[in-house]
Structures are given as structure tokens and as C-alpha cells.
């Protein structure tokens, strides 16, 4: 198969329209509760970070634990758009979620 300019142009358009395999952010059920748990954890750890985007999210079948990979940026946007990624481990107690640990994730 020969790649003509027209075919390359078509491939480029398709790639732009589909995002070339870029992943959509995951759906996070009751995201406000998870955001609040992360923000509370960051405050306790004196980490001046803010949530930018959830990259991965997985809840255990029993609904009592969950993990999420979240892109974080500095809370003060004057520091630019530098982002780090952390895996947060959540645990549900009663009707509230809390972060029990985190690990840095290389991206």
C-alpha cells in the first residue's frame, strides 16, 4: 500500500478527531467526596498541591476501598503548570472516604 498525500491527510484528520489514542479522564462516582478526602489529606501532610485531573480510578468490588492516580499541580498557580502524579489509596469509613496513603507515580 502506497501512502499518498491524500491518504496521509486523511490519517492526520482521523488522528486529530480521535485524539490519537489519548485517554479520556475516568468517571469518578461521587467525585466531590474523593476530592474532599484528597484535600483534607494534603492539608494534614502540609502539601501545597491542588487536584488537576484524575488519570485513573478503581473502586474495589466491596465498595470499601479505592485507588486513583491524580495529576497534581502547585496550589499557587504562580508556580506554573508543573504537574506531578500520585496514586492515592482510599478507605471508606461509614459514609466518608479518606486517603490512607499515597505514592508518587512516574508518567
CATH number of the structural domain spanning residue 38:
3.10.450
Kindly report the pTM of this predicted structure.
Answer: 0.74
Using one digit for the tens of pLDDT, what is the confidence trace for 26-55?
889 899 999 999 999 999 998 889 999 999
Residue 40 placed within a domain: yes
Residue 91: is its pLDDT beyond 80? yes
Asked whether residue 9 is assigned to any structural domain, the reply reads no
What is the domain range of residue 32?
Answer: 25-105
Q: Is a pLDDT exceeding 70 seen at residue 93?
A: yes
pLDDT at 3: 58
Percent of the chain with pLDDT over 70: 76
Q: Does residue 14 form part of some domain?
A: no
Cα angle for residues 65, 89, 72 (degrees, 5° grid): 135
Whether residue 61 is contained in a domain is answered as yes
The total number of structural domains in the chain stands at 1
Query: CA torsion sign, 44 to 45 to 46 to 48?
Result: negative
* 7 in any annotated domain: no
Please state, in angstroms and rounded to a whole number, the distance separating the CA atoms of residues 1 and 106: 39
Cell of 69: 492516580
Confidence of residue 1 (pLDDT cuts 50, 70, 90): low
Q: Is the confidence at residue 57, as pLDDT, over 70? A: yes
Amino acid at each position: 500500500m502506497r501512502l499518498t498525500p491524500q491518504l496521509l491527510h486523511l490519517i492526520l484528520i482521523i488522528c486529530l478527531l480521535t485524539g490519537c489514542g489519548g485517554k479520556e479522564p475516568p468517571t469518578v462516582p461521587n467525585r466531590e467526596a474523593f476530592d474532599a478526602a484528597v484535600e483534607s489529606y494534603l492539608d494534614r501532610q502540609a502539601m501545597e498541591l491542588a487536584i488537576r485531573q484524575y488519570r485513573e480510578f478503581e473502586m474495589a468490588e466491596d465498595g470499601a476501598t479505592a485507588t486513583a492516580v491524580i495529576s497534581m499541580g502547585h496550589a499557587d498557580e504562580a508556580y506554573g503548570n508543573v504537574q506531578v502524579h500520585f496514586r492515592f489509596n482510599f478507605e471508606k469509613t461509614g459514609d466518608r472516604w479518606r486517603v490512607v496513603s499515597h505514592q508518587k507515580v512516574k508518567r
